[in-house]
Amino acid sequence: MNHRSLTRFAWLAVAAAIATIMLKAGASLLTSSVGLLSDTLESFVNLASALIALAMLTVAARPADNDHPYGHGKAEYFSSILEGALILVAAGAIGITAVQRLMHPRPLEQIGLGLAISVVAALLNLAVGRVLLRAGRRYRSVTLEANAQHLLTDVWTSVGVLVGVGAAGLTGWLPLDPILALVVAGNIVATGVRLVRRSVSGLMDAALPPEDQQALLAELARYADLGVQFHALRTRQAGARRFVSLHVLVPGDWTVQRGHKLLEDVETGIRTVLPNATVFTHLEPSDDPASWEDVGLDRGTSDDVSRV
């Protein structure tokens, strides 16, 4: 599935965010709970994040061109960075509101109805979050996965708020409501920091994760009996697309045709174990000393992989 097809999941996130904003805002107005208000503010962040995700997935869907020969996949990382930043802004707003309510407590009203509405909103976020998470992992979309993680975090936030507001209503201890809102703020700060760190890692061309490297190692090991060796092995990821480059060393008496056939097999095998991979190979004779002068290019993979 291409990025353009993935935008339908972003539209689903937009619709869910609008629906939960309406539900949570109604619950907040009914109860006068700052905890539920904080939950509502986070849903506004969900809406902004979904709109950003929609825009970035649209950009990422553009084909490679002269100015961007490797495509536009990295646009997805900007979505995650902006989403993380918005989460931090929302956390700040929640914190300020909670402190003000802690200093000036207000009684809660119509708690039962307000909590019932919030439960519906939480269940909606749970359903949509699980759909986005499956899609993000299946299609290796960092944008959808980040959006899903945010929605699922919002679900846990809502559960905490519901428990806290219910406890405040039962006990009559009004400070519990703003204290809970501060806990919510701290939780979403952690989520925002994780999203930003992951996206920055992608923009810095970090190597593929260990599980992908091990799959790559196992695939290349199949050629050991043919006297084939590999070095100058480097990997990176840009959004849903992986990039792998390596030098393939074969006996010097091989024909060009045989070497070419081997490279085709190697590239096909790598793309099989690493879908959405762009593979660059370079053929060298193993008995030429010059072929080993670029062994220093081995980086971006684990030591085990680079010594295949």
- Each residue's pLDDT tens digit, 43-92: 787 787 788 777 777 777 677 777 777 777 677 677 667 777 777 777 77
Q: What CATH superfamily classification does 210-306 receive? A: Cation efflux protein, cytoplasmic domain (3.30.70.1350)
- Each residue's pLDDT tens digit, 243-272: 899 999 999 889 999 999 999 999 999 999
pTM of the model: 0.57
Write the burial class of residue 184 (CB in 10 Å: 0-12 exposed, 13-18 middle, 19+ buried): buried
Domains 3-203 and 210-306 share a fold: no
Residues facing residue 281 across a β-bridge: 246
Domain boundaries, the chain: 3-203, 210-306
Task: Write out the CATH class of domain 3-203.
Answer: mainly alpha
Distance between CA 118 and CA 113 in Å, rounded?
9
The sheet carrying 229-238 orders its strands as: 229-238, 241-250, 277-285
H helix or E strand, kind and range, residue 13: helix 3-31
Neighbours of 257 (CB within 10 A): 8
**Buried residues in 51-78 as b, exposed as e (16+ CB within 10 A):** ebbbbbbbebbeeeeeeeeebbbbbbbb
Which amino acid belongs to residue 84?
Answer: G
